[in-house]
Structure 1
């Protein structure tokens, strides 16, 4: 019962943390002017489409039977807004048949958990730029996904139940190299663990950090969390290395706990959320 209450509080915090006007504006705004000339990749056969999906962490494909529908121009505009997503478009009948497409559909494929999500014809008929942006933003999970109000929804909608968080300040001199090593470690646990980055320099992330009872003096740190039963653990680290991350994940997956007092902590409702 206590674990259920804890999970409810945690999920309420994540799902009700609304976008600030500034964040919402960033989602709608193009990353830079150089993207203006970019277009979706034309996918004209099944092998090319399969290769395109396999090569991307996140691939969004517009499967259109009719290129005159309003959603096509909206789809093209998304290319300029999401620089870390691969966009493709296809009208080829064999491609559509291979992916069981029977109407105009926009599908998102993500490598991290081999998931496929789709906006079907009935959704596309009433789609607008805001809805399409939000669909892509929420569901674009990468090998390492940065935690924010929007991606939090997609993270907790994933079928992967174990989430690993690297909590560190992105402004620190060690950040770039640490992120590189963290990404390398993420490849070892693809499909098993979602790797998340939490920027401790963002004030709003303080609630997520306090959930794991971490203090600023303990950062950077790793925190691992299992959505099914509320089990979690933390590890303060002076240096992020593939070995440290791998050992921490392996230990948790094998049932080892670094801090046994989590059991008593989990019985206390986390009212700070």
Structure 2
């Protein structure tokens, strides 16, 4: 029998196996990364308790879905958002910000979004605080994927980038 290291996730009862060939070559960093990537929910709900872990995550790109959990589209949107999250596992952290929670207003205003523009997607890179938003987003796997791929590829949708683009940055 092959040696495998099993990691059982309490979140969704998935079992993840690390093959023995990987175990031999694994170091503490790789192992903690494997555990971190796989122990996070596909989507983490933002709240004071999870915020600290999110900010200290090794995954530097965070995608936030800002939506009211009480809205009729919530269930279906969340299902699609989770499916999209599978495509970017280990690359992008998928987060839900419930706009129905008053304290989350500061997160929404950080991205210069108004209640009327929700549901919205915002993507944020912790390294350089670069971010972009997709207001009034229809949450489909395709929309989420395109938005993420665009950001990863350096494309920005945000209007307030226009002023920056008029003065091209000179690469030295």
TM-score category of the 2 structures, normalised to the smaller one: 0.7 to 0.9
* C-alpha RMSD over aligned residues: 3.1
Cα separation, partners in 2 of 1:254 and 1:238, compared to 1, 3 Å: closer
Cα separation, partners in 2 of 1:262 and 1:152, compared to 1, 3 Å: farther
Please show how residues 198-209 of structure 1 align to structure 2 within 5 Å.
198-209=97-108
Matched, 1:217 2:144: no
**TM-score, normalized by length of structure 1?**
0.49
Matched, 1:174 2:101: no
Cα separation, partners in 2 of 1:115 and 1:157, compared to 1, 3 Å: farther
**TM-score, normalized by length of structure 2?**
0.76
Check whether the contact 1:160–1:192 (CA below 8 A) recurs between aligned residues.
yes
User: 1:115 maps to which residue?
Assistant: 35
Check whether the contact 1:141–1:154 (CA below 8 A) recurs between aligned residues.
no
Aligned residue among 3, 7, 11 for 1:84: 11
Q: Which runs of 5+ in 2 are unaligned?
A: 14-22, 25-30, 165-172
- Find the residue that maps to 2:139 and give its secondary structure: coil
- Find the residue that maps to 1:167 and give its secondary structure: strand
Q: Deviations over 1:214-269 (max 9, x none)?
A: 0000000000000000100000135210000000000000000101514879xxxx
How far apart, CA to CA, are the structure 1 residues paired with 2:119 and 2:94? 15
Check whether the contact 2:65–2:122 (CA below 8 A) recurs between aligned residues.
yes
How far apart, CA to CA, are the structure 1 residues paired with 2:158 and 2:138? 20
Aligned residues: 151
Q: Which runs of 5+ in 1 are unaligned?
A: 1-44, 60-82, 87-97, 100-108, 117-139, 266-273
Check whether the contact 1:218–1:236 (CA below 8 A) recurs between aligned residues.
yes
Larger radius of gyration: 1
Moved over 6 A (4+): none
Matched, 1:255 2:154: yes
